[in-house]
Structure 1
Amino acid sequence: MCNFGDAGHGFSSRDHLPWSSHKTLRQAIAQHFQREKKLQPDNPRIRRLFTARHLVCIGGLKVRWTNNLMDHLRLSDDDRAVFIFHNADFLGYQSCLADQIFPADLINETLRTLTLLFPQNDRKTRRWLSKQISKHSLDPSILRCGNAWAQDRRFENFYFWHDRLVILKQNFDDASPRKLSQWWGDRRNSVQWYTFWVAILVFVATGVLQVYLSWRAMQQEGGEDG
């Protein structure tokens, strides 16, 4: 579940794991997956709106499903797409091994990122994800990753994927809805959401009233002429 080597003279959007002859596979993996926190999030808490469905429907991102763990949560295509590792069954199997080849806690932390993006108790997310599974032949175990509780929604509890989560969350926060359907689903700022839709309602009501008054005026003119 990790790409090795490079593309040579070609080009690949996928990340790869350098593995030289003087290192063991375990050493190469440990060197790549570091427990580092370089970026500081604007807010220490990750809100419930931060799901894969909302990344697409509100943030306008495309999801690129991947079997390469190296690419998980990485943005691509000029920050218009995000890679998501979908093999939850593989992660579950690895988490049960006493002697993992991956760094300690990496597998469990990866599973926790999936619970953020695909909360099991969110019906809309489950319907959306079920369609994605059928369309892209994804691992169906991703439907059963569980739910993220309050303590799971803090950046401080992530180490290996911390910086990519911060970047992805910032990209989501900075995205502006472009369609009415996106505006309707965007509840990131409740005050802004209500203000927008009240303005739309007032605009529509004003337009309907103007049409009605114009019609009444024409009716009255027609009655006087008769």
Structure 2
Amino acid sequence: MTTALPLTASQRVRETTNSLIRPLQRDLLSDRPHAVAALARLRRGAGKDTSQVPDLWGLIDIGPLHDRPQDGGRPFTEEQLTRAEDAVHTALTLWALHQQSRGHGMHQSGTHPAHHGLGAAVRRLMPPGEIAEPVRKRLVRAGTAPDLPQLAQRLRDLVLLLRGQDIPLDYALLAEQLYQWQAPGGRDTVRRAWGRSFHAHRGPQDTPQAGVPSPAASPEHDNTADKDAP
């Protein structure tokens, strides 16, 4: 008989985010008033720092982040807790923006990060077998964001594009990666994951693209203003 290992800090962020979004998404799709109201409040925080939207304080129960893990793992340090709270806040508010006016769940979790990550979702915005450079550059800009608030804003722009084409995203995985992104050396890890996810995705007519640069390795910036309205 084997004993399950305690969850890592980033895995706890992922599990907490999933446990928050799933029942809310279920109730929202059932048109329950409390979920509709919560979505509207959460949506206003998309792309913003937690401190800018005090209306969201207490809306979502992030108590599990503060509790001592029951699996024997270590509790968060104060610094880790701040990162975790910011990661969950960012993921939930982006999901709320993504879910607006959609008739099916925009949060879809999976067991294979490369197939359900941000890179794969962005790749689905493109025609099969082609690389849409303006869209790719938006992913690159997200990967090269200098801080979490700007990363959240650039992710917001991508989420608007995903919403326009009804492309779901694993927001629990995104929260885990946002937590990792804030840790020392974490940005490179997350950029690699997004780049790998982008290149791993295969649509019905996709074939491997020779010579296509990875978003993780591309430093260019796209300063074109986003024309999509929320």
TM-score (normalizing by structure 1): 0.27
Larger relative contact order (C-alpha < 8 A, sep ≥ 6)? 2
Higher relative helix content: 2
For the pair shown, the structure with the greater C-alpha radius of gyration is 1
